[in-house]
Amino acid sequence: MVKTAKRPSGKSAIIHDQKLVRGNGGELHQIAGDDNAVLTTAQGGLVSDDQNSLRIGERGPTVLEDFHFREKIFHFDRSGKRRVG
């Protein structure tokens, strides 16, 4: 018999002063409110969620069509390279 993982029961959670909404996989999403700045990409496009990436299925591989995730990887990759010489 295959056991299924337990998921948190609530659709929202409150941590400190932030209200968080749970996604389909149980992950928490921070929602920008009236007093919070909205996150944008380097090109100025709005980003609704910065902490989770687009995946195939609930626990599948990351999809390369997730442009914001690719942008974060490219920025991280370029920031660590230093020229020697």
CATH code of 24's domain: 4.10.91.20
Which has the closest alpha carbon to 67: 44, 35, 83?
Answer: 44
Contact between 66 and 74 under an 8 Å Cβ cutoff? The reply is: no
For residue 3, tell me if it sits in a domain.
Answer: no
DSSP character for 62? Answer: B
For residue 84, tell me if it sits in a domain.
Answer: no
32 vs 67, higher pLDDT: 67
pLDDT at 85: 57
For residue 85, tell me if it sits in a domain.
Answer: no
For residue 1, tell me if it sits in a domain.
Answer: no
Q: Sorting pLDDT into bands at 50, 70 and 90, what band is 66?
A: confident
DSSP character for 85? Answer: -
Q: Sorting pLDDT into bands at 50, 70 and 90, what band is 14?
A: confident
Collapsing DSSP to helix, strand or coil, 78 comes out as helix
For residue 7, tell me if it sits in a domain.
Answer: no
Range of the domain at 38: 12-79
| Mean pLDDT of all residues in 3-17 | 64
| Mean pLDDT of all residues in 40-54 | 77
For residue 5, tell me if it sits in a domain.
Answer: no
Mean of all residue pLDDT scores within the chain: 73
Structural domain count of the chain: 1
